[in-house]
Amino acid sequence: MRLTGSKADLAKAVPALGYRLDRGVKADTAVQQVAGNATPLMSYTIVYALSNVALPLLGPIAVAMTSALN
């Protein structure tokens, strides 16, 4: 259950990925330590793509559909 919550929050929290910006190296996060690997971090790319590409493209379609219903 912990890993599910962490996967849902990765879209908002880039620091959760564990990058040390001051040193430019990747550090293990609590998510990786609980899982034992980096599998939960793979969901970040999917969520990032959907939130930054698909949603802006689907926004005008949703507006057009709601205005057509009224």
Q: Per DSSP, what are the bridge partners of residue 19? A: 26
Q: What pLDDT score does 14 carry?
A: 57
Helices (H), the chain: 2-9, 30-35, 43-49, 55-69
Q: How confident is the model at residue 68 (pLDDT cuts 50, 70, 90)?
A: very high
Q: Domain limits of the chain?
A: 2-69
**pLDDT tens per residue across span 1-17:** 445 555 555 445 555 55
Q: What pLDDT score does 37 carry?
A: 77
Q: What pLDDT score does 1 carry?
A: 47
| Whole-number Cα distances in Å, 29 to 9, 12, 14, 15, 47 | 14, 16, 12, 9, 19
**pLDDT tens per residue across span 24-60:** 555 566 667 777 777 777 777 777 777 788 888 889 9
pTM of the model: 0.38
